[in-house]
Amino acid sequence: MGIYVITGGTTGIGAVVRQQLQEAGHEVFNLDYKGGDYEADLSTTSGREGAIQAVMDRWPDGIDGLICNAGVGPTAPPSAIFALNFFAGVQIAEGLRPLLKKKSGCCVMTSSNSITNQTVRMDWVDMLSNVMDEDRVMEIARTIPDALRPSAYSSSKHALARWVRGTSPSWAVDGLRINAVAPGNTTTPMTASMTPQQKAAALLVPSPTRYRVKEFLDAEEIANGITFLASPKASGINGIILFVDGGIDALLRSERF
């Protein structure tokens, strides 16, 4: 059985992924702010560096998989959104890449199906995925008004998906795979705190697979996609963004694939 590292594996989608991997017989190491096997604030460079070192010290001979799931939603401050949703995933993936290379492993990122909607700011996406200067990004993030937090969220996830696509060939040359899952609205502790008005707005375009009941997807449905991409069954898949959103992306963008 394999060794898997996950970020944000304490609650929500990450907790279900961790459980599925453990039930399959894998050893799973959770990096999280609370309740992790190694507790760290992954929104900070020092927290990420400490987490990377902890994994390297524990498994110097390599790991089989990395699930970068830690993140925050569109109600968080833009600085936290950019730090956790983009920089944490990229830095931890690159930091643990040498350990993945030792075992020809794989990485799966958690993106979002919001990466295709009109709230995405391509100037912010370029700033994140092309410039990648976290100090400068944080300066700009502190000037973003609260009303644009949803744009910061979708832009951070778009930048992460773009980074996965762009880096996948170089990972493949090293015998590695890297992919992302783009979930739709999902029942998690993050969405449980939504007001009735926020939930109604989120369900304005109901998921085709939930059309008659108008409800969110289950965390298990998203986790199924993540664990599949992290498994040998997905050995021929590299650089994809797998939409697990009940068909919303296909509904809204039926002519693009």
Task: Tell me the residue ranges of DSSP E strands in 23-155.
Answer: 27-32, 38-39, 65-68, 106-110
What's the CA gap between 237 and 108, in Å, rounded?
A: 11
The number of beta carbons lying within 10 Å of the beta carbon of residue 155 is 29
The number of beta carbons lying within 10 Å of the beta carbon of residue 13 is 29
Give the DSSP H/E element, type plus range, for residue 4. Answer: strand 3-7
Residue with the two structure tokens 């927290």: 47
The number of beta carbons lying within 10 Å of the beta carbon of residue 214 is 12
In the annotation, is 153 catalytic? yes
- Residues β-bridged to residue 179: 108
Residue with the two structure tokens 């987490």: 51
Token couple for 23: 């039930």
Catalytic site residues?
Answer: 153
